[in-house]
Amino acid sequence: MSRVVVIGLGPAGPDLVTRATLAEIEVDRPRFVRTRRHRSASLLSDAVSFDDLYEQADSFDELYRSIVEHLVLAAGEYGEVLYAVPGSPAVAEQTVELLRSDGRIETRVVPALSFCDLTWTTLGVDPVAAGVSLIDGRRFSSEASGRSGPLLVGQCDQRHVLSDIKLTVDVGPTVTVLQRLGGPDEAVFDVAWDELDRRVEPDHLTSLWIPGLPSDAGSALAAFEEVARRLRIECPWDRIQTHDSLRPFVLEEAAEVVEAIDALGDEPTDTEIAALESELGDLLFQVVIHATLGAETGWFDLASVIRGIQDKLVGRHPHVFGDETATTPAEAAVLWRAAKAAERAGADDSD
């Protein structure tokens, strides 16, 4: 089988390129480099660059698939080719993920240093002890959803990426910006969160350190809604679904929530609790995807669904949000039924 050998050019200059990588560079075979916008790309001066594909592709997904296709064809022609990427081929490198999953070739990955290694040293952070998550800035809204621990955000190479990150969640007063670590023009500085996309001049070596995200259900729900929207656009299966076709899944997920509740013991285990949490998430997706379908037709959206149930709950609990009094569950139930009847009477009058 033809083979692609993948090497990483490290996070900075040639002084941080590993001996294993240098040894692979010495082997005589066709060589490719993802981009020449890297301080160690000079080590492969005769390599074919994919920089021209950046201008032709409409999206990064299309770009990465195109690069992989070129490499597969070249490996088929020559038997074995070398492919060099910035940083480490095992960290935030989608082309390598695609190569590894491509059954037409064998992919061998040579370990290398990444920008993460310099980040931990610069910040004095143990990523394992701190529970750091590494996420892609271009997919911040979906990848940061539901997280509350420290984040290292890579791929912050364009101003609109910083803007999208800023608008997704409010992390607090400041955020730490890391640029060009390991180079003579290295910069590490704090910037006000609301100034992120105005004060920072991003480049391909820009990342963000966020010590922790606030526990914000609103931001998490907004990010989740964006995931559902993207599924409707980009996933062939989700794209063809309708309210009617999704009906069995609503019943199935609701039943699985009930099963998870029934499985809770008198002193629930971590496994039982996690199962209920997971099943509630599955059921929530059904609500969100139906709201997404409703938004597409102009019937309703997630915000109107939330406002509707919020108004209903406030109206049916006058003993909590109004002047009524209820000291027992039975009294609360009476007020609930009265409020519900009043709602129906109002709806009939409006008709």
pLDDT, averaged across the chain: 91
Mean pLDDT for 89-107 is 93
The model's confidence at residue 351, banded by pLDDT at 50, 70 and 90, is low
For the chain, domain boundaries: 3-113, 117-210, 234-315
pLDDT of residue 217 exceeding 80, the answer is: no
pLDDT of residue 112 exceeding 90, the answer is: yes
% of the chain residues with pLDDT over 70: 96
Mean pLDDT for 121-137 is 92
Same CATH fold assignment for domains 117-210 and 234-315: no
DSSP string, 189-232: EEEEGGGHHHH----TTEEEEES-----HHHHHHHHHHHHHHHH
187-192 and 174-179 strand pairing: antiparallel
The model's confidence at residue 269, banded by pLDDT at 50, 70 and 90, is very high
The pLDDT value given to residue 178: 96
pLDDT of residue 279 exceeding 70, the answer is: yes
Mean pLDDT for 141-167 is 85
More confident residue, 57 or 270: 270
How far is the C-alpha of 114 from the C-alpha of 85, rounded, in Å?
11
The pLDDT value given to residue 36: 92
The pLDDT value given to residue 295: 93
Report in angstroms the alpha-carbon separations of 129 from 134, 148, 292.
14, 15, 39
Name residues whose C-beta falls within 8 Å of residue 2's C-beta, 6 or more positions apart in sequence. 72, 75, 76, 78, 79, 80, 104, 105, 106
Mean pLDDT for 10-32 is 95
pLDDT of residue 43 exceeding 80, the answer is: yes
The pLDDT value given to residue 214: 66
Mean pLDDT for 309-317 is 91
How far is the C-alpha of 327 from the C-alpha of 15, rounded, in Å?
74
Mean pLDDT for 303-317 is 90
Name residues whose C-beta falls within 8 Å of residue 68's C-beta, 6 or more positions apart in sequence. 95, 98, 99, 102
How far is the C-alpha of 347 from the C-alpha of 76, rounded, in Å?
70
User: Topology of domain 234-315, per CATH?
Assistant: Helix Hairpins (1.10.287)
Mean pLDDT for 32-60 is 91
Mean pLDDT for 63-88 is 95
The residues facing 80 across adjacent strands are: 3
The model's confidence at residue 344, banded by pLDDT at 50, 70 and 90, is confident
How far is the C-alpha of 154 from the C-alpha of 157, rounded, in Å?
8
CA triple 19-20-25, angle to 5 deg = 95
CATH for 117-210 is: 3.30.950.10
pLDDT tens-digit profile of 155-195? 898 999 999 888 877 777 889 999 999 989 999 999 999 89
More confident residue, 350 or 133: 133
- Whether residue 5 contacts residue 47, with contact meaning beta carbons closer than 8 Å, is answered with no
Could you tell me the end-to-end alpha-carbon distance of the chain, in angstroms, rounded to an integer? 72
pTM: 0.61
pLDDT of residue 323 exceeding 60, the answer is: yes
Mean pLDDT for 43-66 is 90
pLDDT of residue 349 exceeding 70, the answer is: no
The sign one gets for the Cα dihedral 88, 94, 95, 101 is: positive
Helix (H) or strand (E) holding 134: strand 133-136
Mean pLDDT for 243-263 is 96
- 238 closest CA partner among 196, 192, 286, 275: 286
The pLDDT value given to residue 207: 94
Mean pLDDT for 69-84 is 96
The pLDDT value given to residue 212: 80
The pLDDT value given to residue 216: 60
CATH for 3-113 is: 3.40.1010.10
